[in-house]
């Protein structure tokens, strides 16, 4: 009797300890959220991740999503399986929780049609278990860059402008070598919609060829937009005024009347000026061709690097497919062996069953009969193991086949990309050779012209 009492006390203590452990573990629930800021563009949808750890059913729990910089602070509030009217109107009809995910402890919030005003720190809280976490949402907006150019006397003004950015971006000017140059002025203004408009101006002197890039960049959202402009010397040529042309003609007539010698001298001077002007034009044109040659070479280098990366990916995928095919062959052989073993198990099972049916119920045969029963039980267990191994092998074969199909499709796409890259490389090589040929011919003509003069 005392032994039975001790047993009941032992069971009681066991249940109490188990209850305390369960309560203690429940109190240790934590919330898992992102460690890095979340980035989303305006107009897109986003999931703000929040997960209970360990996972548990959160359907009947209160879930609070809030921002402490807002009044009311609730972004989304679920209590007793209902949303309350205390939600901030900025988020009306734009937030939702998934019931299926709540059953697994996933209380992530879906935020639809993100606006600039949605940027900020969000807090995810389940009050019943005291689990909470915070995260930062960074909202971004980008726009294309517009380049304008104007002339005033001996200066050229390049203006770069872009509307609709968030957060506020930075503007950079780069020359043809990719080096940053200083802008005369850079302005930024925030509109009523919360988006920024930026503009910047660079001034250069005439009689030069310029290649400029205006880059608008926002590092927080990892977005960059830019515009490129190339201005040759032809842009700076100014047409003569008609009144000046008449004056020049009268002066030439007077020179013709006064002396033939002065006319010859004037013609010589005029030819010299034309020659100098042609040389300037030739020099500017040659500079443009050299810059184009440099750009083509850089593009060719980029394509060569892209081709190299493509070939490395192709090599890796081919090796992966080869290993998967080896694994598939191994699994196929394994399956055949297991099928053979199962057939042998089935045959042995039939033989044992027949022997047991023929046995007579005499006492002298009872030991032999028990032995055969044990053998039959062992054979049934072995058959069960073989069947389980066969199922696992067939499942692995199916998964391997699916991966092979995916890798083969990826391989085909990479091969097509490789053909396109090689095609572009051939064209770039041809363009570079043509530019080199034109530059060589131009230099030869200039040399011949200088020799003649």
Q: Is there a single domain that holds both residue 178 and residue 257?
A: no
Residues near 312 by beta carbon (within 8 Å), at least 6 away in sequence: none
In a domain, residue 185? The reply is yes
Confidence grade of residue 242 (pLDDT, cut at 50, 70, 90): very low
Range(s) of the domain holding residue 201: 146-236
Q: What is the mean pLDDT of residues 2-25?
A: 39
Domain boundary among 121, 140, 159: 140
CATH code at position 132: 2.60.40.10
> Tokens at residue 346, please?
């089935």
- Greater pLDDT, 67 or 211: 67
Which one has a higher pLDDT value, 353 or 112?
112
What's the pLDDT score for residue 274?
Answer: 41
Task: Give me the torsion for CA of 104, 108, 110, 115, rounded to 10°.
Answer: 180
Domain boundary among 123, 140, 157: 140
| Dihedrals phi, psi of 184, to nearest 5 degrees | -70, -40
Residues 161 and 267 in one domain: no
Q: Specify if 394 maps to a domain.
A: yes
Tell me, yes or no, whether 34 and 123 share the same domain. yes
Q: Assess whether 64 and 206 both reside in one domain.
A: no
Greatest mean pLDDT among 66-70, 181-185, 260-264, 279-283 lies in 66-70
Structural domains counted in the chain: 3
Q: Phi and psi (nearest 5°) for 60?
A: -95, 5
User: Last residue of some domain: 108, 140, 172?
Assistant: 140
Q: Is the dihedral of CA 270, 272, 277, 278 positive or negative?
A: positive
- Compute the C-alpha angle 130/136/142, nearest 5°: 155
What pLDDT was estimated at residue 2? 42
Please indicate, yes or no, if residue 315 is contained in any of the structural domains: yes
What is the four-CA torsion angle of 335, 336, 342, 347, rounded to 10 degrees? 180
Phi-psi region of 26 (alpha: psi -120 to 50; beta: other; left: phi over 0): alpha
The reply to whether 383 and 261 lie within a common domain is yes
Q: What is the 3-state secondary structure (H, E, C) of 1-31?
A: CHHHHHHHHHHHHHHHHHHHHHHHHHHCCEE
Candidates 105, 93, 113, 100; CA nearest to 52 is 105
Q: Is the confidence at residue 121, as pLDDT, over 90? A: yes
What is the average per-residue pLDDT within 446-452? 76
Which tokens in the block code for residue 433?
Answer: 């050779």
The pLDDT value recorded for residue 1 is 40
Lowest mean pLDDT among 26-40, 109-123, 164-178, 245-259: 245-259
* The predicted structure's pLDDT at residue 236: 47
Q: What pLDDT is stored for residue 442 in this prediction?
A: 79
Whether residues 47 and 118 share a domain: the answer is yes
Specify the pairing of strand 223-231 against strand 210-218: antiparallel
Checking if the pLDDT of 203 tops 80, the result is yes
Q: Is residue 350 part of a domain?
A: yes
Write down the mean pLDDT value for the chain.
78
Task: Clarify whether residues 306 and 403 are in a common domain.
Answer: yes
Taking the CB of residue 67, how many other CB atoms lie within 10 A of it? 20
Q: Please report which confidence band the pLDDT of residue 199 belongs to, taking 50, 70 and 90 as the band edges.
A: very high
- The larger pLDDT score, comparing residue 1 to residue 233, is at 233
**Residue 423's pLDDT is what?**
86
Residue predicted with more confidence, 313 or 221: 221
User: Is residue 13 over pLDDT 60?
Assistant: no
Residue 12 within a domain: no
pLDDT interval class at 233 (50, 70, 90): low
Banded pLDDT at 40 (limits 50, 70, 90): very high
Do 212 and 354 belong together in one domain?
no
Least trusted range by pLDDT, from 75-79, 99-103, 275-279, 347-351? 275-279
User: What's the pLDDT score for residue 129?
Assistant: 87
Does residue 249 register a pLDDT over 60? no
Find out whether 226 and 190 touch, Cβ atoms under 8 Å. no
Residue 180 or residue 14, greater confidence:
180
Asked if residue 291 belongs to a domain, the reply is yes
Report d(CA 273, CA 285) in Å as an integer: 18
Residue 159 lies in a domain: yes
- Split at pLDDT 50, 70, 90, the class of 95 is very high
Q: Confidence class of residue 67 from pLDDT cuts 50, 70 and 90?
A: very high
Which has the higher per-residue pLDDT, 263 or 363? 263
**50-54-55-57 Cα dihedral, nearest 10 degrees:** -110
pTM of the model: 0.44
SS3 35: coil
What CATH number did the domain enclosing 371 receive?
1.10.287
**Does residue 171 carry a pLDDT above 90?**
yes
With residues binned 3-state (H G I as helix, E B as strand, rest as coil), the percentages for the chain, rounded to 5, are 55, 25, 20
**Confidence at 75, pLDDT banded by 50, 70, 90:** very high
Structure tokens at 45: 């949808």
**Mean pLDDT of all residues in 135-141:** 93
Q: Which of 4-18, 30-44, 89-103, 113-127 has the lowest mean pLDDT?
A: 4-18
Pick the most confident of 3-17, 227-241, 415-429.
Answer: 415-429
In this prediction, residues 416-441 reach a mean pLDDT of 86
Average the pLDDT over 76-84 and give the result: 74
Mean pLDDT throughout 424-430?
86
Check whether residue 136 and residue 215 sit in a common domain: no
Residues 230 and 251 in one domain: no
Predicted local distance difference test score (pLDDT) of residue 158:
86
Q: What is the mean pLDDT of residues 198-211?
A: 78
* 416 three-state secondary structure: helix
Mean pLDDT within 388-395: 84
């Amino acid at each position: 009797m005392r032994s039975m009492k001790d047993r009941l006390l032992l069971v009681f203590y066991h249940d109490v300890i188990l209850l305390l452990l369960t309560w203690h573990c429940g109190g240790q629930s934590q919330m898992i959220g992102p460690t890095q800021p979340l980035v989303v563009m305006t107009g897109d949808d986003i999931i703000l991740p929040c997960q209970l750890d360990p996972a548990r059913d959160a359907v009947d729990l209160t879930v609070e999503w809030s921002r402490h910089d807002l009044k009311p602070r609730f972004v989304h509030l679920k209590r007793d399986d209902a949303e309350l009217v205390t939600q901030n109107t900025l988020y009306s009809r734009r937030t939702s929780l998934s019931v299926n995910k709540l059953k697994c402890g996933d209380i992530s919030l879906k935020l639809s049609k993100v606006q600039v005003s949605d940027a900020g720190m969000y807090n995810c809280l389940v009050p019943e278990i005291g689990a909470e976490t915070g995260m930062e949402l960074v909202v971004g907006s980008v726009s294309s860059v517009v380049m304008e150019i104007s002339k005033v006397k001996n200066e050229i003004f390049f203006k770069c402008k872009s509307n609709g950015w968030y957060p506020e971006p930075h503007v950079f000017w780069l020359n043809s070598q990719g080096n940053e140059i200083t802008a005369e002025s850079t302005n930024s203004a925030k509109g009523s919609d919360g988006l920024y408009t930026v503009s910047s101006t660079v001034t250069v002197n005439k009689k030069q060829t310029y290649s400029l890039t205006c880059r608008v960049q926002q590092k927080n959202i990892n977005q960059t937009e830019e515009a490129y402009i190339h201005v040759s010397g032809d842009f700076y040529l100014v047409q003569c005024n008609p009144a000046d042309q008449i004056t020049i003609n009268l002066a030439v007539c007077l020179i013709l009347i006064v002396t033939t010698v002065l006319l010859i001298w004037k013609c010589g001077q005029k030819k010299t000026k034309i020659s100098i002007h042609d040389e300037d034009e030739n020099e500017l044109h040659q500079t443009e061709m050299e810059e184009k040659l440099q750009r083509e070479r850089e593009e060719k280098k980029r394509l060569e690097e892209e081709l190299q990366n493509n070939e490395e990916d192709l090599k890796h995928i081919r090796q992966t497919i080869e290993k998967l095919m080896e694994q598939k062959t191994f699994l196929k052989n394994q399956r055949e062996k297991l099928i053979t073993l199962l057939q042998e198990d089935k045959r042995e099972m039939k033989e044992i069953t027949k022997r047991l049916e023929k046995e007579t119920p005499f006492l002298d045969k009872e030991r032999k009969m028990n032995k055969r029963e044990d053998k039959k039980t062992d054979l049934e267990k072995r058959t069960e193991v073989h069947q389980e191994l066969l199922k696992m092998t067939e499942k692995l074969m199916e998964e391997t086949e699916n991966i092979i199909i995916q890798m083969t499709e990826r391989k085909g796409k990479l091969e097509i990309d490789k053909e396109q890259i090689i095609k572009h490389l051939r064209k770039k090589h041809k363009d570079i050779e043509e530019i080199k040929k034109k530059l060589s011919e131009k230099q030869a003509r200039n040399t011949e012209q200088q020799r003649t003069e």
